[in-house]
Structure 1
Amino acid sequence: MTRSTLFVTTALLGIGGALAAAAHEDHCAAVAASVAEAGFGDSVTVTCTDEHAIIRSDTYPDHTMMTGIVGTNEQVPVPAEYGAPILLEPRLGDTPLTRDAALGVAVNGVPIYDYTAGGEMSQEDLAHHQTRHDTVQTGQLDVCGGHAGRGDDYHYHAKPTCMIEQMANAGHDAIIGWAFDGFPIYGDNNPDGTVIAEGDLGVCNGQADDTFGYRYHTSAEAPYIVQCLMGEVPEFDGLPRVRPLSAADGGGTAPGRPPEGGVENLDFSEESDGRRSMDYSYRGQDYYIRYAPSDTDGCYDFVTRTVSNGGEIHTGEYCR
């Protein structure tokens, strides 16, 4: 290699590094701006590392929760500290990625799952509608598109309608969330407001994007929201999960199952002192889950009478 060739090569590498750094900073800025412009900067923080923008929150939104659920799993929303890592240099991969946990996060800090409940979808499942596990069709979601999962953590399985109504920048061009592979999530229409043509969205509910390379969308029909990731995600199996509640004495909690035929009049309420209650009826009987912060930081005192426990009253302290 001649001296002139070495100089040119080094210069090109320097330009490439500068471009990569600029793209990194631009993506970090885009993630931070999506949270700030939506109006959630007071409850959600965004910090960037060499590889990720970390969207951190307590996963507990300031909108109606749980109300309207019929197929309740008898879980309740409990604040949970959560840091969602969004890749800053997204790259499309060869195989869609699925997991039985969050695939991304909304701009209000609430995790986003695929539309199903009951376990991870296989590659074959992606091509077929999972009617039996469809959280929308089985009445497992509240009026805002979310519910509390097996870890008593609130998350979305469909379009986060209540959050979108709260957004200061609500509109077709507003980013409503980010997938872990680094690509943004938009609403039902293209950012310019045009209707997405039938067949334009791929298996993961996304399509090409001139700005970010790729983007995901919500949709009125299944899969409703991101159901898999099209990008590469290093250490995909190590993505964070919300730590479930466990009994203060070291025991665990068992998730309930939707009672046959569903419940009636489910309502979730919260008092200013942190006391919370989910009340509902089933076959003419009243049931409830009531909890309040205990004297131990991060713990809650529970009093429950659930269908899963045969109507027996249970008490206990549970912690993150």
Structure 2
Amino acid sequence: MNKYFISLTCLIILLITLFQKVGIVNSATKPERSPNLTIANVISQANPVDLKRLPLGDGKISNSPKVGWIWACRIDPNAGGAFRDGNWIKSDGTYDFTAKPIVQGKVNWDYRFKMSRQGNKRIFSTNDLPNHPTGIYPIAPNSEAFLYDRNPNRIAPQNMQVELPANPQLASQPSCASGAVGILLTGTVLFNALDALGRDAVAHETQDVCQGHPQEAGVYHYHSATTCLPDQTTKDGHSTLMGYSLDGFGIFGRHGESGKVLKSADLDVCHGHTHQINWDGKQISMYHYHATWDFPYTVGCMRGSYKMSDVMTISGPRPRRREGFPPQDFGNAPPRRPNLAIAAQKLGISEQKLRDALGAPPPNLEISAERLGISEQTLRDALGVP
């Protein structure tokens, strides 16, 4: 009887072991999910923000400081960028961050970033190559991302040195946010929330798993706080420092006091506020910016003074103007955005009337044509778009 019982027990153990092995094999052969979805699921475990329904920032461009908007110094309505919206952009004015295709690849770089404090100055030296892997650029023609955004640019090392105030002061009035607004602790440049056309860059542009991509001069950059830089918190739940704005103020993660996950509505017109923070090892009451999941993501306007020379430095060298992307880099890419002055001339109307009809990018050409009292095909022919 005892021998029978022992044999039966051994058989049961053997069967359990076999089932476990089969389960492991099956789970290993399941296809990998989108990295954006994987990140979102991990974050969402303790995140009250619905990453599948983030409010779209299109049109939230102001001419003065405004909570939840961006006061941008400049946009270029004729610039290039993502040329087609995917199904992650919803008709209700939201987008699904977890559904965006990403630029594939895992390229490691020769990261060189140094930050030091000398008296009242904080000195940065960086080659702008991040301390994390990036996707492969230019975007591969056989990738899903290429269907929406055919970024032809290559990541290139830079030579950036800037000196920011170590103890920044609030300016008497806020000022507009330049295209490049700061440097994150990954050693990489942070741009504002907009693409060159003035749309919500995080929503429209396809980027790699760290939410970065290069511009024409090869400057790798983010438009929000990268998820590849952990949003760590202190004992009281407040996020730690993630980078610096060009006015010298710190950019902290997405958690405020008591660990609250912040939204734009919780912050001021420039996307920051003032309270006790850890600054260079000391607890002081000081203004600082915060990252959020919603637009404008980091810096909505500049709360302190900054130098245009620093903006130019971290923006990278000015590339030669190109009327279209080179065939060797861009394959069957569409041309850059239509020249609205020429299109208006073809239609016999003013450029401003055409801009008003098109509205905020990306335009709905059917509605725009109705506003102008012409056919959609006539409008497309004037704009030179298929």
Evaluate the alpha carbon distance shift between residue 304 and residue 197 of structure 1 in structure 2; reply closer, same or farther with a 3 A threshold.
closer
Give SS of 1:207's match. Answer: strand
Structure 2 residue aligned with 1:225: 298
Q: CA deviation at 1:91?
A: 0.9
Question: What is the distance in 2 between the residues matched to 1:78 and 1:197?
Answer: 34
Following the alignment from structure 1 to structure 2, what is the Cα–Cα distance between the partners of residues 256 and 225? Answer: 31
1:53 and 2:122 matched? yes
- Please say which structure displays the higher CA radius of gyration: 2
Tell me the C-alpha RMSD between the 2 structures. Answer: 3.4
**1:112-261 counterparts in 2 under 5 A?**
112-118=190-196, 133-164=199-230, 172-190=238-256, 192-196=258-262, 199-210=265-276, 211=284, 213-233=286-306, 236-239=307-310, 240-244=313-317, 252=320, 254=322
Give the C-alpha shift of residue 100 in structure 1: 3.8
Shift of 1:113: 1.1
User: Would you say the 8 A contact 2:150–2:333 is kept in 1?
Assistant: no
Contact between 1:173 and 1:192, CA under 8 Å: does it hold in 2? no
Structure 1 residue 141 displacement after superposition = 3.0
Aligned partners of 2:264 and 2:294 also within 8 Å:
no
SS at match of 2:123: strand
Contact 1:74 1:255 in 2 (8 A): no
Structure 1: distance between partners of 2:304 and 2:257 = 20
Find the residue that maps to 1:136 and give its secondary structure.
helix
Give the percent of matched residue pairs that are identical in Structure 1 and Structure 2. Answer: 24
1:107 to 175, 185, 199: 185
> Would the aligned equivalents of 1:256 and 1:308 in 2 still touch at CA under 8 Å?
no
* Higher fraction of helix: 2
What is the TM-score when the length of structure 1 is the normalising length? Answer: 0.55
Select which of 61, 68, 78 maps to 2:156.
78
Distance 1:227 1:187 in 2: 15
Unaligned runs of 5+ in 2: 1-110, 137-143, 277-283, 336-386
Q: CA–CA distance in 2 between the matches of 1:65 and 1:227?
A: 26
CA contact (8 A) 1:181 1:232 kept: yes
- Normalised by the length of structure 2, the TM-score is 0.46
- SS of the aligned residue for 1:103 comes to strand
Offset at residue 241 of structure 1 (A): 3.4
The aligned residue for residue 38 of structure 2 is none
Pairing partner for 2:331 from 265, 289, 306: 306
Q: Which deviates the most, 237-246 or 201-210?
A: 237-246
CA drift at 1:200? 2.2
Q: CA deviation at 1:205?
A: 1.3
Paired residues, number:
206
Q: Which residue of 1 aligns with 2:134?
A: 65
